[in-house]
Structure 1
Amino acid sequence: MGLKIFIKENLSFLLFELIIVLFILSVYWLDGFRNISTAIYTIVISMVLILSFLGIRYFLRQSYLNKISQLPNTMEDALQKNAKSIEHIQTENYLHELYRVYQHEVQALYASQTRQEKFMNQWIHQMKTPVAVLELLLQEEEPLDKKSVQEEVDRIKRGLEMVLMNARLEKFEEDMQIEQVNLKQIVTATINENKRLFITHHVFPETQIDEELVVASDSKWLKFMLEQFVTNAVKYTFEENKRVYITATNHDSEIKLTIRDEGIGIPKSDLSRVTKPFFTGENGRKTGESTGMGLYLAKEICEKLGHELEIDSEVGAGTTITLTFLKG
Structure 2
Amino acid sequence: MASVRLYLKDNISIVFFEILLVLFILVLYWLDGFRNVDTAVYSIVITLILTCTYLCARYIMRQSFYKKVTRMPKTMEDALQKNAKTPEHMQTEEFIHILYKIYQLEVQALYAKQNRHLQFMNQWVHQMKTPLAVLELLLQDNGELDKKSVQEEVDRMKRGLETVLMNARIDTFEEDMKIEQVSLRQLIVEAVNEHKRLFIAHRVYPNIAIDETLMVPTDSKWMKFIIGQFITNAVKYTFEEGKKVYLSAELTDAHIVLIIRDEGIGIPASDLKRVTRAFFTGENGRKTGESTGMGLYLAQEICDKLGHQLIIESEVGKGTKMTVLFHHS
TM range, normalised to the smaller chain? over 0.9
Secondary structure in structure 2 of the residue aligned to 1:181: strand
Give the match for residue 60 of structure 1.
61
Letter in structure 2 aligned against 1:224: F
Quick one: distance in 1 between partners of 2:269 and 2:224?
28
Give the match for residue 2 of structure 1.
3
Quick one: distance in 2 between partners of 1:99 and 1:67?
17
What is the CA deviation profile of residues 65-99 of structure 1, one whole-angstrom value per residue up to 9, with x for unaligned ones? 11111123344444222222232222222222221
Quick one: distance in 1 between partners of 2:77 and 2:294?
36
Quick one: distance in 1 between partners of 2:252 and 2:6?
70
Quick one: distance in 1 between partners of 2:80 and 2:9?
25
Give the match for residue 316 of structure 1.
317
Quick one: distance in 2 between partners of 1:6 and 1:200?
78
What is the CA deviation profile of residues 128-187 of structure 1, one whole-angstrom value per residue up to 9, with x for unaligned ones? 110111011000100110000000000000001000000010011111100011111010
Give the match for residue 73 of structure 2.
72
Alignment of 1:90-129 (within 5 A): 90-129=91-130
Number of matched residues? Answer: 328
Would the aligned equivalents of 2:259 and 2:323 in 1 still touch at CA under 8 Å? yes
Quick one: distance in 2 between partners of 1:327 and 1:69?
59
Quick one: distance in 1 between partners of 2:97 and 2:268?
46
Q: Does 1:219 align with 2:220?
A: yes
Letter in structure 1 aligned against 2:296: L
Shift of 1:204: 0.6
Would the aligned equivalents of 1:78 and 1:95 in 2 still touch at CA under 8 Å? no
Quick one: distance in 2 between partners of 1:213 and 1:10?
70
Q: Does 1:146 align with 2:147?
A: yes
Letter in structure 2 aligned against 1:211: E
Shift of 1:229: 0.2
Alignment of 1:1-328 (within 5 A): 1-328=2-329
Shift of 1:104: 1.2
Quick one: distance in 2 between partners of 1:272 and 1:21?
77
Quick one: distance in 2 between partners of 1:16 and 1:142?
98
* Structure 1: gaps spanning 5 or more residues: none
Letter in structure 2 aligned against 1:228: Q
Q: Greater shift after overlay, 75-84 or 262-271?
A: 75-84
Shift of 1:289: 0.5
Shift of 1:320: 0.6
TM normalised by structure 2 equals: 0.97
Q: Greater shift after overlay, 149-158 or 41-50?
A: 41-50
Quick one: distance in 1 between partners of 2:240 and 2:90?
70
What is the CA deviation profile of residues 248-276 of structure 1, one whole-angstrom value per residue up to 9, with x for unaligned ones? 00111101111111101111111110000
Alpha-carbon RMSD across the aligned residues, in angstroms, is 1.2
Quick one: distance in 1 between partners of 2:133 and 2:316?
33
Q: Greater shift after overlay, 96-105 or 208-217?
A: 96-105
Shift of 1:38: 3.1
Would the aligned equivalents of 2:138 and 2:150 in 1 still touch at CA under 8 Å? yes
Would the aligned equivalents of 1:78 and 1:99 in 2 still touch at CA under 8 Å? no
Quick one: distance in 2 between partners of 1:144 and 1:77?
69
Would the aligned equivalents of 1:264 and 1:317 in 2 still touch at CA under 8 Å? yes
Would the aligned equivalents of 1:78 and 1:96 in 2 still touch at CA under 8 Å? no
Letter in structure 2 aligned against 1:61: R
Shift of 1:16: 1.8
* Structure 2: gaps spanning 5 or more residues: none
Letter in structure 2 aligned against 1:111: A
Quick one: distance in 1 between partners of 2:103 and 2:182?
40
Would the aligned equivalents of 1:203 and 1:241 in 2 still touch at CA under 8 Å? yes
Secondary structure in structure 1 of the residue aligned to 2:34: coil
Secondary structure in structure 1 of the residue aligned to 2:11: helix
What is the CA deviation profile of residues 9-42 of structure 1, one whole-angstrom value per residue up to 9, with x for unaligned ones? 2233123212212221221122123433333322
Secondary structure in structure 2 of the residue aligned to 1:316: coil
Quick one: distance in 2 between partners of 1:28 and 1:36?
8
